[in-house]
Structures are given as C-alpha cells and as structure tokens.
C-alpha cells in the first residue's frame, strides 16, 4: 500500500490537482482497487458510496453484469479495429441505436473519446459547414457560448469556456467566442446582434454542470433555439453531462421540445465504463459534406485512433439498453422523487444558500451566512473539506468550489440516496459553523 502511494506521488500527474498539496494532510492519497455495486473499495478495504457516479459517468454503478458481459463477448470477437477505411459492427449498431433514441432527425453519428472531443468536432463541423454552404468568404464565423461555460479542456473547448482564472496561460491560443447571457432577453439580444455573422451557439441545455449546477429558467433553451434558427445559425447542445436521463428525461433538450442541429454525448454513454463520445447531427448538417465534388474541401479532417472503438461501442449498447429498461420500469422517476424528498430539509440549513436540482444533477451552495450572502474565503476550501468529511465517513463527494455536488447513479437504492444526502448534511454541520466563525 505504502509502495503504491509512493509510486503515485513519484509518477502520476492528477487532473485539476495542485501537486504541492496532493498527498499532504488535506489531500491524502486514497487508492481504489475494486468496486461492488455502488461502492468503491480502496486498498485498505474501506468502502465509499459513489455519490458522484465517478465524476458523473457511472450512471448504473460499477460492475454492472450486463455491461461486463457485453465487453467480455466483444473481447471474444475483436477489441478494436479502425473506422478509417473500415466499418465495424458495434459502431454501426450503436450509431443506429443513438439515431433511434435522439430527438427529431438527429441521425448521423461521429464517434470520439471524450466530452471535450465531442464538442471539438461539433465546432469544426459547424465552422466547415458554414464555408461549404456560404463559400469561403462567409461572414459566419462568430461563436456564442454561455457565461461560465465549461465544455472540456482541449483548446477549442477551452476557448468556449475561457476563464481568466484558469486559462490565462493559454490566452494567446484561445480563439474569440462571444458570451451568451443567462437571461432570455440578454441571450436573444446577443444572438440578434451577431445576426448573419453567427455560425453557432453552443450551450449545455437546462443545467450548467461544472459552473456549479446552475439551472436555466424555464423557456430559456426554447427561446435560444428559436433565435438561433432565426439567425440562420446552428445550435450545438452539449449533453455530455445532462444526457441519458440525468435531468429526468432521456435528453435535456426534450424538456423544451428542442432538437439541436448537433448534439454532444459522452460520460453516461458507456455507463462510465470506457472513453467513448458521440457527436450526433441532422441530415441538414451532414449533407454539405456528402454532396458536390469529391475533393478535400468536403472531407471532415478529424478523427482519432480509437474513434468508434469496438469495446466502447459494445459497452455503450449494453449501458443504453440497461438504462432504457430502468426508465421504462419507472425507476428513474421514482428515484428522482426520492432524491427531491431527501434534499428538501437541506434548503433550510443556515449554511446552505440554495439547493439547485434538475433531475439527478444537484448542487448545494454553501455560505458562511445567508445574509448578504456572506461567502467563505476561497482559501478555506470549505467545499473540499466537506467532501473529505464525507469520504472519511464512507461517501464519495466532489465539490465545485463551495457547491457540493450530488450526481447519484440510477442504480442507487432509496437508502443509498438518503445516505448520500445525510453525508452532505453531516459534512456541512461538521465544517461550516467553525469555518464561518473564522472567515474574513
Ligand atoms: C458539459 C460538459 N461538456 C464537456 C465536458 C468534458 O468532458 P470530458 O472530461 O470527457 O472531456 C464535461 C465534463 O465535465 C462537461 O460537463
């Protein structure tokens, strides 16, 4: 065990981690070795209820028999073959399945391997399509993304979600992206102002996850979709976090009857088993790439070695079926109600400014005092400490700043939902009063 930790400290570079703190008293290294159902088990045998679905992707928990079996069966055939110049059975079957499940006429699927790359390819499709349709001199070059957008960490995605606090070092590499305000009138005004120069609007529909589980006002998505269409631009919905029933419906856009031109999926696609993502587009988006002369201009020059990986697609086929079965049995709706009931008392807690929830995406915002509100000093790392308290008591949490996130898998029992919420409450009680006394 000590050897493993020493090797971690010597060789691993963890994402979004300050390595001056990693391994210290506030950030002890926990090494996960296996899982059972909804719990992860570390090398010491300690168990952690995975209340964040391992960063929002293990929608069905861990070691799901149907997904395990599908991967084993695929291993007996072939683990990977390229989609460049060849096709593959699981990739075809998954593309057809997604076409059947996605709203409207979203039916053409480009596979990549992460949420960021799903967005990256969507951007490139939109930009290249504008040139194909309107010619190289097209003014449609302008992109709009929401305030505090997060779409991943490749440079295109960073440009969409540019934040001086995080990305200053890359400022000279990021391309300009206009900001879409979060209120309906402001958003419509920004879209109208861009007019014929607008290439695409990119947004997370209904809930901005990484921004702190910010829930959009009802009608916002539909209004943005309508204004985008009126401007002759494309709507790219990033459902990397919201897709696959996370908001209580299969896709968040369905809440407002919106069919985007491009839809980005990842995280829950394989039930969190393997890195696979999909960018699904309508025939109108795809056709300019498939008509006219067979020259380079109409080829989408994008691809990854593991595009359409067979094991990933096999896992996704099983995960999507499993989740559809749960939803059809009413378990998704029942669990959502249970979660809402368990969370209700937290809203009155003196250190909880707001409980934001849409479906299974939950953000509990912590404050030193509701009056003001008075926030904790950033250096106090209150969210981090509450999460650690949860972990020390057997529930895995990960905050966004001082917003405690819950994103339970659909495989949670009612009792596990209550355990997860209770862990947040106990963590707040243990950490916040003292932190509020000492905050500046
Ligand atoms: C909405 C959204 N888009 C994109 C991403 C990036 O996904 P990945 O980490 O798989 O690149 C995330 C990750 O949290 C996300 O929440």
173: tokens are 């590499």
Query: Regarding beta strands 277-281 and 108-112, do their DSSP bridges make them parallel or antiparallel, or are they unpaired?
Result: antiparallel
CA pair distance 53, 51, nearest whole angstrom: 6
R_g of the chain computed on alpha carbons? 22
Quote the ligand 1 centre to 55 CA distance (angstroms).
Answer: 10
* Fold of the domain spanning 66-327: 3.40.640
* Residue of 413, 376, 415, 382 lying closest to 397 (CA atoms): 382
Beta-bridge partners for 143: 200
Quote the ligand 1 centre to 439 CA distance (angstroms).
Answer: 32
Quote the ligand 1 centre to 243 CA distance (angstroms).
Answer: 11
- The minimum-distance atom of ligand 1 relative to the CA of 239 is 1
Per residue in 87-97, pLDDT (tens digit) is: 999 999 999 99
Please state at what angle helix 65-75 crosses helix 310-328, rounded to 10 degrees: 150
* Average confidence (pLDDT) over 85-108: 98
Show the beta-strand stretches assigned E in 113-167: 142-146
Residue 428 pLDDT exceeds 90:
yes
Q: In what helix (H) or strand (E) does residue 221 lie, and over which residues does it extend?
A: helix 220-230
- DSSP letter string over 164-212? HHHHGGGTTTSPP-EEE-SSHHHHHHHHHHHGGGEEEEEE-SSEETTTT
Least confident of 24-28, 66-70, 375-379: 24-28
* Average confidence (pLDDT) over 313-336: 98
Residue 440 pLDDT exceeds 90:
no
What pLDDT does residue 48 have? 98
**Percent of residues, the chain, with pLDDT higher than 90:** 96
- The minimum-distance atom of ligand 1 relative to the CA of 209 is 16
Quote the ligand 1 centre to 210 CA distance (angstroms).
Answer: 8
Interior CA angle at 56 toward 50 and 62, to 5°? 45
Burial tier of 101 (Cβ tally within 10 Å: 0-12, 13-18, 19+): middle
Mutate to test the pocket of ligand 1, among 115, 118, 265 (most ligand atoms within 8 A of CB): 115
Quote the ligand 1 centre to 11 CA distance (angstroms).
Answer: 25
* Average confidence (pLDDT) over 267-287: 98
Average pLDDT along the chain: 97
Q: How many CA atoms lie within 13 A of 178 on its CB side?
A: 22
Residue 216 pLDDT exceeds 90:
yes
* Average confidence (pLDDT) over 96-104: 98
CA pair distance 93, 197, nearest whole angstrom: 38
Quote the ligand 1 centre to 266 CA distance (angstroms).
Answer: 8
Q: Determine which residue's CA is closest to atom 3 belonging to ligand 1.
A: 151
* Average confidence (pLDDT) over 307-330: 98
- The minimum-distance atom of ligand 1 relative to the CA of 242 is 1
Quote the ligand 1 centre to 138 CA distance (angstroms).
Answer: 30
Same fold, 31-63+330-438 and 66-327: no
Quote the ligand 1 centre to 377 CA distance (angstroms).
Answer: 27
What pLDDT does residue 26 have? 86
Domain boundaries, the chain: 31-63+330-438, 66-327
- The minimum-distance atom of ligand 1 relative to the CA of 114 is 10
CA pair distance 169, 153, nearest whole angstrom: 13
- Report the greatest alpha carbon distance in the chain: 70
CATH code, 31-63+330-438? 3.90.1150.10
Mutate to test the pocket of ligand 1, among 16, 113, 152, 358 (most ligand atoms within 8 A of CB): 152
Quote the ligand 1 centre to 148 CA distance (angstroms).
Answer: 13
- In the numeric block, the tokens 């495989």 are attached to 411
- The minimum-distance atom of ligand 1 relative to the CA of 275 is 10
Burial tier of 261 (Cβ tally within 10 Å: 0-12, 13-18, 19+): buried
CA pair distance 346, 353, nearest whole angstrom: 10
- The minimum-distance atom of ligand 1 relative to the CA of 117 is 11
Per residue in 6-21, pLDDT (tens digit) is: 999 999 999 999 999 9
Residue 407 pLDDT exceeds 80:
yes
Q: How many CA atoms lie within 13 A of 250 on its CB side?
A: 19
CA pair distance 339, 363, nearest whole angstrom: 12
Residue 120 pLDDT exceeds 90:
yes
What pLDDT does residue 180 have? 97
Q: Determine which residue's CA is closest to atom 16 belonging to ligand 1.
A: 241
CA pair distance 43, 377, nearest whole angstrom: 34
CA pair distance 39, 33, nearest whole angstrom: 11
CA pair distance 168, 331, nearest whole angstrom: 44
Residue 439 pLDDT exceeds 80:
no
Residue 2 pLDDT exceeds 90:
no
Residue 403 pLDDT exceeds 70:
yes
Of 2 and 179, which is predicted with more confidence?
A: 179
Assign 314 a pLDDT band (cuts: 50, 70, 90): very high
Mutate to test the pocket of ligand 1, among 160, 240, 276, 278 (most ligand atoms within 8 A of CB): 240
% helix, strand, coil for the chain, step of 5: 45, 15, 40
- Residue 397: partners with Cβ closer than 8 Å, 6 or more residues away: 51, 52, 386, 387, 390, 391, 404, 405, 406, 420, 423, 424, 427
- Residue 262: partners with Cβ closer than 8 Å, 6 or more residues away: 122, 125, 126, 200, 234, 235, 236, 237, 279, 280, 281, 282, 285
What pLDDT does residue 165 have? 87
330: tokens are 């009413």
What pLDDT does residue 185 have? 98
Quote the ligand 1 centre to 348 CA distance (angstroms).
Answer: 31
397: tokens are 């949490």
Assign 1 a pLDDT band (cuts: 50, 70, 90): confident
Quote the ligand 1 centre to 240 CA distance (angstroms).
Answer: 6
Per residue in 37-71, pLDDT (tens digit) is: 999 999 999 999 999 999 999 999 999 999 999 99
* Average confidence (pLDDT) over 245-263: 98
Helices (H), 256-380: 283-290, 310-328, 331-343
Query: Regarding beta strands 361-366 and 403-406, do their DSSP bridges make them parallel or antiparallel, or are they unpaired?
Result: antiparallel
Residues with CB under 6 A from ligand 1: 114-116, 119, 150-152, 204, 209-210, 238, 240-241, 266
């Amino acid at each position: 065990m000590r050897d493993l930790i020493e090797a971690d400290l010597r060789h691993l570079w963890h994402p979004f981690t300050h390595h001056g703190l990693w391994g210290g008293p506030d950030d002890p290294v926990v090494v996960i070795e296996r899982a059972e159902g909804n719990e992860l088990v570390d090398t010491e045998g300690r168990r952690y209820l995975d209340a964040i679905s391992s960063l929002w992707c293990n929608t069905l928990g861990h070691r799901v028999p149907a997904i395990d079996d599908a991967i084993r069966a695929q291993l007996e055939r072939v683990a990977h073959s390229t989609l460049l110049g060849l096709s593959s059975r699981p990739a075809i079957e998954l593309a057809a399945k997604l076409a059947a499940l996605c709203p409207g006429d979203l039916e053409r699927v480009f596979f990549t391997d992460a949420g960021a790359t799903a967005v990256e390819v969507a951007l490139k499709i939109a930009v290249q399509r504008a040139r194909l349709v309107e010619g190289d001199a097209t003014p449609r070059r302008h992109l709009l993304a929401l305030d505090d957008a997060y779409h991943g960490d490749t440079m295109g995605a960073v440009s969409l979600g540019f934040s001086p606090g995080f990305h200053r070092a890359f400022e000279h590499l990021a391309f300009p992206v206009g900001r879409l305000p979060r209120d309906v009138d402001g958003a419509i005004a920004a879209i109208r102002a861009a007019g014929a120069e607008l290439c695409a609007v990119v947004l997370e529909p209904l809930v901005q996850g990484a921004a702190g589980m910010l829930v959009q006002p009802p009608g916002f998505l539909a209004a943005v979709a309508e204004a985008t269409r009126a401007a002759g631009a494309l709507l790219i919905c990033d459902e990397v976090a919201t897709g696959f029933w996370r908001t209580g419906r299969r896709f968040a856009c369905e809440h407002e009857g919106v069919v985007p031109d491009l839809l980005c999926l990842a995280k829950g696609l394989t039930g969190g088993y393997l890195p696979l993502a999909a960018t699904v587009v309508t025939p109108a988006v795809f056709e300019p790439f498939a008509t006219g002369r067979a020259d380079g201009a109409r080829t989408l020059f994008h691809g990854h070695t593991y595009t359409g990986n067979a094991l990933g697609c096999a896992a996704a086929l099983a995960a999507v079926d499993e989740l559809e079965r749960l939803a059809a049995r009413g378990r998704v709706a029942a669990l959502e109600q249970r979660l809402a009931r368990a969370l209700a008392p937290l809203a009155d807690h003196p250190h909880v400014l707001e409980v934001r929830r849409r479906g299974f995406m939950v953000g509990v915002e912590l404050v030193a005092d509701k009056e003001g509100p008075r926030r904790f000093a950033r250096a106090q790392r209150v969210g981090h400490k509450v999460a650690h308290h949860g972990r020390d008591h057997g529930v895995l949490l990960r905050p966004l700043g001082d917003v405690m996130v819950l994103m339970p898998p659909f495989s949670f029992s009612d009792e596990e939902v209550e355990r997860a919420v209770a862990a947040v409450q106990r963590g707040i009680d243990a950490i916040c009063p003292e932190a509020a006394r000492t905050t500046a």
